[in-house]
Amino acid sequence: MLASLILIPLAVALAIVVLPAASARAAALLGTLAAAAMTVVALVQFDWTEGGLMQFLTTTEWLPALGINLSFGADSISMLMIALTALLGPICVLASWTAITERVKTYYAWLLILQAAMVGVFVARDLIFFYICFEFTLIPMYVLISLYGSTNRKRAATTFFLYTFTGSVITLAGLAYVAYFNSTLPVDAFAGAGTWTFDIDTLEKAAAGQMSLSQQSLVLLALLCGFAVKVPLFPVHTWLPLAHTEAPTAGSVILAGVLLKLGTYGIYRFALGYTPDAFVYYAPVIATLCIIGILYGGLICWVQTDVKKLVAYSSVAHLGFCVLGLAALNHTGIQGSILYMINHGLSTGALFLLIGFMYERYHTRNMKEIGGLAAKMPIWATFMVFFVMASVGLPGLNGFVSEFLCMFGTFQASDHWSTGIWGSENAATIGATGGKLGPWYAAIAALGVIIAAMYLLIMVGKVVFGPLKEPGGHDSHGGGHSGGHGADSHTHLPPDLTAREITALVPLALACLIFGIYPKPLFEALKDPVNDTVAWVHKIAPPPMPEGNVNPSMIGSVEIGSPAANAASNVQEIAR
């Protein structure tokens, strides 16, 4: 089942190579739709009542002498990320329909190969297979940026490749060390100990259960070198704005929607799973970097004149919230973080689509040259305002749910709730969880929400509303502008969105609305794996709590019917 989600895009990519160029678009669309249909089948067959268990498990020997297997499996978190990837596949093909007219076969073939590699990351149960898929995503994205990007595409592609490749090599060294460490353990330590293997579950027991804090710290540093760059976290974020700005529209959508989430997914799977002691110890440092990124990214957005670069820098801030939720190390924060992975992919991916559609018509993204587009593009303007509100975190839309939970989880995560200004000494504080963050971290991070609302609403005010302003020499029929290398300068588009472009946006809009109003199914899907992760971290590294507090593993959870779940689920009531 899971292997087919990788093989279908790969097979269609090979077919595109031998098909005539005129058939490449249709073949790519059919291929991504077939992968989406197979994903729906997998979602239906998946047992969501056992979301914490790895399902569809299959293992095939690959290099048995080295302990390397082709091993697949997925829990509910993997399935949700696969669903996001499958949803964005046909949307990216539709978005590229008129923008890419040169080297069409190359473009769509690499687009499908990229989708296969991203799915491979989410289903891998062998470290080497995970790393191959994780690293191989660099090649298709490098090709898409360098061949089909804007003016500085070569520099953007090279910077992207060097940053992410260098970090990933260090991560590989850390993972290899874990495998070596496991091979040195006594064979009776646990099943699989004392053998040379790259099985993810076996190595998790070795790293988390047998390594010292200093050893885990080195492994955590190695993991973050690759995963933090991919997210990206401050200060290793500088490749992202350039890559986003120069990438073709579909490249930016995939980059924001899925590729960046490979980093947060890696932190969740491996940093929390393999190095819980070290992650707990360094959680304040990680959270501080997240908060710096939130505020710094927001302030940089405030002074941007290029609307695409503004949205690119906003990803630095948004994903700071995502990792901050993981650093809270409680149910609420981790659930919020995983929801953020999905919701950011929906809303920010849609914003890049809208900016791409505008660029195809006006060949500019400069807010000094363009504005008041609601007068000429009312459908485009409606979608733009909607997705900006989702990105801001308006209650009733998806962004609010995840952002609220990330900050609420951070707010809870303190060992000092019963002391000082937060309460009476040794008094039980219901809802508090052990941790090294707490209200001050949440309060400072919340400033990023205010900054985000300001720069996004200012952008909407300039680009969408006000008097109509168009760049000089603009063709009133909407065409006549190149969308970058590989775009047809003679393609004419109507002033407002076409049916094809609306079709690409509607599924994202519906998802943002549904997940904002009724996120309960997502909570249900995430409950078991998140509970298992928190229990695992607390088992290996129990958070200290003041005397009189309740068991940290039993509180702070976003269980169905809990105050946190009700607050997030009933966002319309909160808004009122």
Q: Which of 244, 274, 304 is the last residue of a domain?
A: 274
pLDDT higher than 60, residue 567: no
Please indicate, yes or no, whether residues 334 and 353 belong to a single structural domain of this protein: yes
Residue 505 lies in a domain: yes
Residue 152 and residue 244 in one domain: yes
| Residue of higher predicted confidence among 69 and 476 | 69
Q: What is the pLDDT of residue 100?
A: 87
Which pLDDT band holds residue 139 (cuts at 50, 70, 90)? very high
Same domain, 255 and 378: no
Are 311 and 212 members of one domain? Answer: no
Residues 262 and 137 sit within 8 Å (Cβ to Cβ): yes
Contact residues for 541 (Cβ-Cβ < 8 A; gap 6+): 276, 277, 279, 280, 281
pLDDT of residue 66: 85
Q: Is residue 563 part of a domain?
A: no
Examine residue 553 and state whether it is found in any structural domain, yes or no. no
Report whether pLDDT(414) > 90.
Answer: no
256 and 160 housed in the same domain: yes
pLDDT(375) > 60: yes
Instruction: Report yes or no on 556 lying in a domain.
Output: no
Predicted structure pTM score: 0.89
Q: Which of 256, 274, 292 is the last residue of a domain?
A: 274
Domain assignment present for 562 = no
104 and 208 share one domain: yes
Does residue 433 contact residue 556 with C-beta atoms inside 8 Å? yes
Q: Report if residue 436 sits inside a domain.
A: yes
Tell me: do 238 and 317 sit in the same domain: no
Task: Assess whether 242 and 317 both reside in one domain.
Answer: no
Question: Which pLDDT value is given to residue 474?
Answer: 60
More confident residue, 151 or 415: 151
Tell me: do 113 and 22 sit in the same domain. Answer: yes
Question: How many domains, in total, are found in the chain?
Answer: 2
> How would you class 344 by CB atoms within 10 Å of its CB: exposed for 0-12, middle for 13-18, buried for 19 or more?
buried
Instruction: Please check the confidence at residue 564 and state whether its pLDDT lies above 50.
Output: no
**Residue 196 sits in which domain range?**
1-274
- Among 111, 109, 139, 133, which residue's Cα sits nearest to residue 120? 133
Together in a domain, 266 and 319: no
SS3 content of the chain, % helix, strand, coil (to 5): 70, 5, 25
For residue 569, the model assigns a pLDDT of 44
pLDDT at 473: 60
Residue 546: what pLDDT?
A: 43
305 part of a folded domain: yes
Q: Does residue 576 fall inside a structural domain?
A: no
Q: Are 125 and 201 in contact (CB under 8 A)?
A: yes
State whether 323 and 354 are in the same domain: yes
Contacts of 564 (CB under 8 A, 6+ apart): 332, 405, 408, 556, 557, 558
> Both 440 and 313 in a single domain?
yes
What's the mean per-residue pLDDT of the chain?
A: 87
| Domain-terminating residue out of 530, 545, 562 | 530
